[in-house]
Amino acid sequence: MSETVTITVERHSELLDAERELDALHAGGVDNWEWYSESLREAGFYDEDDE
């Protein structure tokens, strides 16, 4: 199912910047940092069983 979401050009730009920043961090190895998974779990991105 495809839905349309309307956002401002400014918000779209912010999201693209955030995506590029996250991509750069992952490319630099941030996903290997000691508390990376713990931080994502605490933020609600996944639970203990997903790891």
Sequence-distant (6+) residues with CB within 8 A of 37 are: 51
pLDDT at 23: 93
State the DSSP H helix or E strand holding residue 23, giving kind and residue range, or none if neither.
helix 9-27
Q: Quick: pLDDT tens for 1-51.
A: 789 999 999 999 999 999 999 999 989 988 888 888 888 889 998 876 765
pLDDT value at residue 37: 85
Does the pTM surpass 0.75? The reply is no
> Domain limits of the chain?
9-50
